[in-house]
Structure 1
Amino acid sequence: MSAPKKTGARGPYAKSAQRSSDILDAATTVFATSGYHGGSLRDIARQLDVSLTSIVHHFGTKYELLEAVLERSDKTTSGDEDFDFDAACRDRGVVFATLERVRTSVDRPELLRLFAILAAESSSPSHPAHEWFTLRYQRKSAELAAAFAYDQGAGRIDRARDPHTLSRLLLAAWDGVQLQWLIDPSADMAKPMGLFFESTIPEAFEGTVSGVA
């Protein structure tokens, strides 16, 4: 009887994939601590006790490494196997999906810090990640606006409200509350976000909007 075939990457391919993952982990820590301009490829190499050549071999340039870090981190902060934000928006509405996401954010402080630092840095048009963050905020704003519009169709939110304005206000409040928590972890995130929703769209807590099926 022949031996069963093994699946998955082996040998140098598996080692290369693991090294790339290790580099991304180290780069996430360095950029989350020092920002893009303050962190260097040498800092990342030093964390892993590898040569600078090894970092360049896997990612080419510092910007390519930054982009890989942002793309991977964005996927991680956008959802996981245990919580599907988009599905929660459809099932329970933006308000309750957001509050649930806020409660799980405490498990990802390094990723939240990474985005807080790099988003602030990238406000300068000359920053390498300026376009990346511009497109990210445009995408997030459009996705939340669509979710608010879905809630209006489902009778959860008054149709008179502008979903695009609501999405921008939500992103602003969410970013601000997260930043305060990163500075002072004893600060609560869920309570102020709940108060934000109660003051802007109180009908979302009251069930179906009057006159809407």
Structure 2
Amino acid sequence: MAARGGYAKGRARKEQILTEAVRLFAASGYRAASLRELAQRCELSLPGLLHHVGGKEQLLLAVLERRDADDAAEAGLAERTGRERFEALLQVVARNRARRGIVELYSVLSAEATAPDHPAHAFFVRRYARLVDELAGAFTDCGHPRPRSAARRLVAVMDGLQVQWLLDPDGVDMVAEVRRHLDAELPPPAPG
């Protein structure tokens, strides 16, 4: 039984580290975030932190995956199809307004990760492929004639709006703009 208890404690500690890392990266950005500060927040030594996360690059990837998983779970993306999936996506866009640091982290890292040797390159390649596939499925459900193309345009609109919002948070309403884009892309819902 001791092994199970130790495993559960290790998982709980890793969850604590990821939660604090998301907060730290959101507040400071990836480059400025210090592993020493993260260790202090988690009441760990630096070697103890590294034991759980490996290194800053591995921690970064875990944070990126965690953020996507949290967004999907909170919005219920997995359970929704068609128009309901787009409404859930709009919830994520709205949620991002309160997470400037994470939006900034994603925007910067997605651009940096175009370099094949970047530690997050494979993550972003997989993420964009998965996102386009999922959105193409939702566009297919809605009867769009070119669902894959529509999915790529939607991703481009969302990413571009995030950068514009970062530059002018009071002048860019990401939710309204994404909704307008979806209204233009989708056929009107069937009556009834």
Pairwise TM-score range, normalised by the shorter structure:
0.7 to 0.9
Contact map agreement 2:85 2:138 (CA 8 A) in 1: yes
Give the share of equivalent positions with the same residue, in percent.
36
Tell me the CA shift for residue 40 of structure 1.
3.9
CA distance in 1, matches of 2:69, 2:39: 24
Mark the CA change 1:52 to 1:27 in structure 2 (over 3 Å): closer, same or farther: same
Map 1:1-213 onto structure 2 (within 5 A). Answer: 15-80=9-74, 83-90=75-82, 92=83, 95-152=86-143, 157=144, 159=145, 162-186=146-170, 187-199=172-184, 201=185, 203-204=186-187, 206-208=188-190
The corresponding residue for 1:5 is none
Deviates more, 1:137-146 or 1:121-130: 121-130
Unaligned runs of 5+ in 2: none
Tell me the CA shift for residue 140 of structure 1.
0.7
CA distance in 1, matches of 2:41, 2:169: 26
Normalised TM-score (structure 2): 0.78
Tell me the CA shift for residue 44 of structure 1.
2.1
Count of residues paired in the alignment: 187
Point out the structure with max Rg over C-alpha.
1
Deviates more, 1:21-30 or 1:128-137: 21-30
Tell me the CA shift for residue 23 of structure 1.
1.7
CA RMSD in angstroms comes to: 2.9
Cα distance per residue 1:128-153 (max 9 Å; x no partner): 1111111110111111112211211x
Unaligned runs of 5+ in 1: 1-8
Tell me the CA shift for residue 18 of structure 1.
3.6
CA distance in 2, matches of 1:51, 1:16: 15
